[in-house]
A and B are shown apart, each in its own frame.
Chain A
Amino acid sequence: MIVTQESSPVTLMPLKRRRARPLFDPPIVRRAVRDSFAKLNPAHMLKNPVMFVVEVGAALTTGLAVRDAFGGAADLVFTLQITLWLWFTVLFANLAEAMAEGRGKAQADTLRKTKTETVARRCKSGNRVEEVAASQLRQGDVVICEAGNLIPGDGDVIEGIASVDESAITGESAPVIRESGGDRSAVTGGTKVLSDCIRVRITSNPGETFLDRMIALVEGAQRQKTPNEIALNIVIAGLTLVFLLAVVTLLPFAQYSVASAGAGRAPSVTVLVSLLVCLIPTTIGGLLSAIGIAGMDRVMQHNVLAMSGKAVEAAGDVNTLLLDKTGTITMGNRQAVEFIPVDGIEEAELADAAQLSSLADETPEGRSIVVLAKEKYRLRGREVAEHEAHFIAFSAQTRMSGVDLDHRSVRKGATESVAEFVRGNGGIIPRELVEISDRISNSGGTPLAVADGPRVLGVIHLKDVVKGGMRERFDHLRAMGIRTVMITGDNPLTAAAIAAEAGVDDFLAQATPRDKMDLIKKEQAGGRLVAMTGDGTNDAPALAQADVGLAMNTGTMAAKEAGNMVDLDSNPTKLIEVVAIGKQLLMTRGALTTFSIANDVAKYFAILPAMFMVTYPVLGKLNIMGLHSPESAILASVIFNALIIIALVPLALRGVSYRPMNAAALLGRNLLVYGVGGIIAPFPGIWLIDRLLGLLHLA
């Protein structure tokens, strides 16, 4: 199941979020253990060249062990132990992958439960309705859903309005409103109508619904390797071949050396296989696919559905973030922040009048005026009914609203309209009115003039309020090299003021969908990757054009189809977290690759002296760990190599820790931890295992 998580606006750290599922969830581990044996199938292993080499090596030593068991060789116990640990190496890698997949599968199971067979009421020609199985619905069919019905398939509401429980998909229990026309018309199969009745036109065929795709995605059934993963695979496959060459040719070199020194014997195949397995990058090779799957999984835990791993990877690369102002950067509504009276008027009088005019105004702006008056002047909402009040609602013609009572007519509205009203009542317009209005406009606010009959009282300053913590987020993004561009329909003046307040790098004012598209194309032509959010049908082309298009689940089906991610919580700020996850995904790969290669240094120091202990005893000087016998040195290295895979599974699944900082600092830190750390770590590790083997008399 998917659990919604409280949104914490300031953090960029996905890791700090509450986890939906413990890392080692017992049912998942049980299933993963089973799966890791099934994955031993060579046809499956072939997809992972590094681990395939290990499997071949394990098979080879198994054969040797069997041969020795019958032939009675002296080092049978050693060969058997090596063989065992080589198989463990493969199994551990498989386990990592199975664990990552298991988490997806568990989620898929939860989803699948909602996919019970429902009955659809399909409209036929005329007004007839027939009942059919949901699986028989085809694109273009129209169905009727009433309160209590499950919506049988994905579609658009074409008639009516209803509240819908989408918790099966989003985990969010609060119902949402779906209505025909506009940007809230899309409904998803498997969700439940709570009230009213709607007609829905089905937009997808069975097996292709959103739910179906979601199940397939979380199950990893459609998982394709991402471009970067393929490139990394090439590197580690190449390194594997290099090490294969180094180990294979060690045999003739050893034969020469043995003949030349006249002592010892060339290393056995078992020893050579051990060396090879220790050298090839098994750590990253074994964890690579787990990292990829886990990255998708982490996105999922943020209630974001990525259509492909490629999209998540691209998120890490994003250079430019296009964010809609409304709802993302600002609260979405203008709020009154100040009352500015004209000369000769007390501020309290203005506040009183403003409040009076807004008492019946149910718009967010109106409510905010009442609230401000209350907070600032302790003016309580009065019972106006006793004054025979007559409220005048806002209309596009008058561009004013207000109230008539006790021979007063209080109005608030656009400055020109209010001025007109005052002149009509025989009043005069003080010069400051225009000055104050202009000042507010210039600062990005909206002026709302207030008048009482022929008297101009002053202006209410309405302002877009920027969400808390946005500036810090944009600073973090900037440190990561990501530019934020605010998209708004406001005029440039207003846009500039809000942009400055929110701390975005740039803005696009009076933006039309076309402007948005042009901006994306321009950025892309400059080699930048662009991410954006959108929900409306007119956002669809831009969502498709952007490298990362995060569609809101509340948006239209067209928008969801066009983007490559859907945010089930419909929270546009999620984009920032998705970017962080994408970066974390790449960093985890880089860190484990570096760690894996750095490990080889210690392994050489452990194994090479052991191999030539008899031929060149003097090479014992390289045995800086003081490993007690050649067998234990080799065995300890192989065991370390296998255990490190298991030890790093949590890191692979969780991702390396990530704090926004500039690239050089990040690289320096990671190189220190995973590069230098990777060189040092195996020394004590192998030494410890060697001691244990000695204590247990295993080698």
Chain B
Amino acid sequence: MTANGWLQIAVFFLVILALTKPLGIFMEKLFEGRGTRLDPLLRPIERGIYRFCGIREDREQRWTEYAISLLVFSAVTLLVTYLIQRLQGWLPLNPQGLGTAHAAQGAAAMTPDLAFNTAVSFTTNTNWQSYVPETTMSYLTQMLALATHNFFSAAAGIAVAIALVRGFARHSAEAIGNFWVDLVRATVYVLLPLSVAGALLLVSQGVIQNFHGYTAATTLEGGAQTIAQGPVASQEAVKMLGTNGGGFFNANSAHPFENPTPLSNLLETLFIFLIPAGLTYTFGRMVKDTRQGWALFAAMSVLFFAGVLVTYASEQAGNPMLAGLGVQSQASASQPGGNMEGKEARFGIPASALFAVVTTDASCGAVNSMHDSFTPLGGLVPLINIELGEVIFGGVGAGLYGMLMFAILAVFIAGLMVGRTPEYLGKKIEQKEVKMVMLAVLTLAASILLFSGAGAIIQFAKNSWVNPPGPAVANLNNGGPHGLSEILYAYSSGTGNNGSAFAGLNANTPWFNTTIAVAMWVGRFLMIIPLLAVAGSLARKKVVPASAGTLPTHGSLFVGLLVAVVVIVGALTFFPALALGPLVEHLLMQQHKLFSMVMFGWWS
């Protein structure tokens, strides 16, 4: 690890720290309806949307109605996305003729299961991509079917988080806000302005933004190179800001057109944490105690730095087997050293490690390097980050409500130890809250473990149409423990709504498309609905005034406790699986053990 590497990480963190408060205040004013500085410009648009949709701004909803609105909206947008994908061949803005008979060679088919997987993926803020975008999706599909979800799913996530916070902030109340109003405000006031500014910053660095067809170039050596084009910057900005992560290109943020310079890379990394970090402050303001928000911020920061440390250290240490082949593993002034497989030369090790940790701390899933090629421990961190529930700043909204879920659990177990019915922010944590939180924890664990378990051993018959015949693990790109990590990562990423991948797994088969789609749906809505129920239940409660007997939830003790609960719940659940994946792979790598794909004799 180099001093310069840590400087980049420190600058990143300090910028986030500096932006947390102003953005937090802005969002608090926005969602509490207290007016913002952008009102003169955006208020007319907001009112226009309400008028068109018949939304009554002043009418608040109970949690059930709020949840139904969210579900109905998700269902409608899901269907629209599915249809646009399937019909893209007949729709405009499709210079490559994708989905038509005259598509170029190598263009991929838009099968029903792929369209379904993708629609679920973007609706749930996952942006898992079973497809290669540049050979599959037309510009219109990318903009109208996919990028729109980058706004909607992010705005919905913010809405849910705000609703949950209202549950804490209110007392003896039935309503937790109006979903439609929260959705529109998050879109119009938060995501859109930031995206416009972000997109232009990215274009200045070289991110493309056009509607040209793919460019045919003659290379210096006289070969032909087809250069993919498209409206990238507009999608790129919101992809990061909304922690969506679905790349315009297959290589995602590693692609030079998505992320051309170290500065664009820093911007994109910042965009991921920007809103989630700001929301912690919004939370503090809404519950009238900003220390509570900073406590969450601190817990997140601890976990963030722990992840960065491990990943950066292991990636810089590199692969001992390559060193054995005469490859330089030490960094120097003129070359990066370390494990550069699957990393871009302009980013090097620290910026790649940082990006990998940030994108999985949040539920973003954009990648500027290929996690599949990380060292075992370097890859373990992204995997664990996802399995911990992506609560380290987390997805926009999702990170906050996920962390609040853990806070409820931490308060419940540890709160008993001060001899009181546990309470958080003056709200007693009782059966209903605990039940809903456990339901969410259980759902995530079940989805990841059961699907991965099935994936590890399931086999398909000769005439199977859901997957090529043979074992599902034949879809992997790596054998040995790493293969297990690939499966585990796929369902963790799906369930956690992350979207990044150990991309060696060929997941574009009906089996994987469908099971991962189910995992994504379950991971999103079986988390959101219980938490909205918690919001409703909390809002109805009275506030217990704090006293010396109240467990303080803003000090370092609570921060430590929260971190411990997050780590312990995740570690205890996934330790066996991780031990057989990344952990044992790390130990085997030290012994120079290699694995190839031919090894499966036991199903013949």
Interfacial residues, chain A to chain B (CB-CB below 8 A): 227-228, 230-232, 234-235, 237-239, 241-243, 245-257, 259-262, 279, 313, 316-317, 319, 478-483, 525-528, 582-584, 586-587, 589-591, 593-594, 597-598, 600-601, 604, 608, 612, 616, 618-619, 621-622, 658, 662-664, 666-668, 670-671, 674-675
Contacts and interface: CB of A to CB of B under 8 A. Distances in A.
Contact of B549 (A232, A594, A663): A663
Given A227-B421, A319-B544, 9 more contacts: A242-B572, A250-B577, A253-B577, A317-B420, A478-B548, A483-B547, A587-B418, A663-B552, A664-B555
A249 B581 CA distance: 13
Given A247-B576, A260-B595, A666-B418, A480 B548 contact: yes
B413 A662 contact: no
Nearest to A229: B431
B545 A527 contact: yes
B572 A664 contact: no
B547 A319 contact: yes
Interface string B409-452: 10011111111110000100111001100110110011001101
Contacts of B171: 527
A586 B543 contact: no
A598 B572 CA distance: 10
B430 A227 contact: yes
Contact of B551 (A249, A482, A663): A663
B490 to A, nearest CB: 14
B431 A663 contact: no
B572 A279 contact: yes
A675 B564 contact: yes
Contacts of B572: 242-243, 246, 279, 597, 600-601, 604
A542 to B, nearest CB: 20
Contacts of B573: 242-243, 245-246
Contact of B550 (A231, A243, A259, A481): A481
Given A242-B573, A663-B549, A594 B413 contact: yes
A259 B479 CA distance: 10
Contacts of A526: 542, 545
Interface in B566-591: 568, 572-577, 579-581, 583-584, 587-588, 591
Contact of A249 (B439, B442, B575, B577): B577
B549 A662 contact: yes
Contacts of A234: 431, 434-435, 438
Given A260-B481, A671-B561, A235 B434 contact: yes
A235 B548 contact: no
B321 interface: no
B441 A255 contact: no
B555 A316 contact: no
Nearest to B600: A259
B599 interface: yes
B238 interface: no
B483 interface: yes
For the residues of B in contact with A, the DSSP-based class is helix
B19 interface: no
Contacts of A478: 548
Contacts of B109: none
B602 interface: yes
A238 B431 contact: no
Contacts of B453: 248-249, 251-253
B175 interface: no
Given A249-B453, A619-B587, A663 B414 contact: no
Contacts of A586: 416, 419-421
Contacts of A482: 547, 549
B532 interface: no
B262 to A, nearest CB: 38
B413 A664 contact: no
B417 A594 contact: yes
Nearest to A314: B421
B557 A664 contact: yes
Contacts of B18: none
A235 B171 CA distance: 25
B65 to A, nearest CB: 26
A608 B441 contact: no
Nearest to A584: B419
B454 A666 contact: no
Contacts of B602: 255, 259
Contacts of A675: 564
A255 B473 CA distance: 12
Contacts of B473: 256
Contact of B417 (A254, A480, A481, A667): A667
Chain B CB within 10 Å, residue with most, of A481, A598, A666? A481
A257 B580 contact: yes
A421 B597 CA distance: 115
Contacts of A254: 580
Contact of A238 (B438, B449, B568, B587): B438
A53 to B, nearest CB: 15
Contacts of A481: 547-550
B413 A231 contact: no
B456 A235 contact: no
Contact of A231 (B419, B434, B441): B434
A319 B423 CA distance: 13
A583 B416 CA distance: 9
A245 B446 CA distance: 6
Contacts of A232: 412, 416, 434
Nearest to A587: B419
Given A231-B431, A241-B442, A586-B419, A616 B588 contact: yes
A472 to B, nearest CB: 16
A317 B545 CA distance: 12
A480 B549 CA distance: 5
> Nearest 10 pairs between A and B by C-beta?
A481-B549, A590-B416, A583-B419, A481-B547, A238-B438, A249-B453, A590-B417, A527-B542, A481-B548, A252-B453
Contacts of B431: 227, 230-231, 234
Contacts of A257: 481, 484, 580, 584
A227 B481 CA distance: 45
A237 B435 CA distance: 10
18 contacts: A232-B416, A234-B431, A246-B573, A246-B576, A248-B453, A250-B580, A252-B456, A253-B576, A255-B456, A260-B483, A261-B480, A319-B549, A480-B419, A586-B419, A590-B413, A590-B415, A670-B417, A671-B414
Contacts of A245: 442, 445-446, 449-450, 573
B413 A260 contact: no
A256 B417 contact: no
A649 B91 CA distance: 72
B457 interface: yes
B223 interface: no
Nearest to A245: B449
A250 B576 contact: yes
B413 A235 contact: yes
B319 to A, nearest CB: 17
Contacts of B54: none
A606 to B, nearest CB: 13
B601 interface: yes
B548 A616 contact: no
A667 B416 CA distance: 9
Contacts of B456: 252-253, 255-256
Contact of B449 (A231, A246, A319, A662): A246
Contacts of A313: 421
Given A317-B421, A527-B545, A583-B420, A238 B442 contact: yes
A590 B418 CA distance: 8
Given A256-B484, A262-B599, A668-B557, A663 B580 contact: no
A667 B418 contact: yes
Contacts of B579: 608, 612, 619, 622
B98 to A, nearest CB: 37
Interface in B441-477: 441-442, 445-446, 449-450, 452-454, 456-457, 473
Contact of A612 (B445, B568, B580): B580
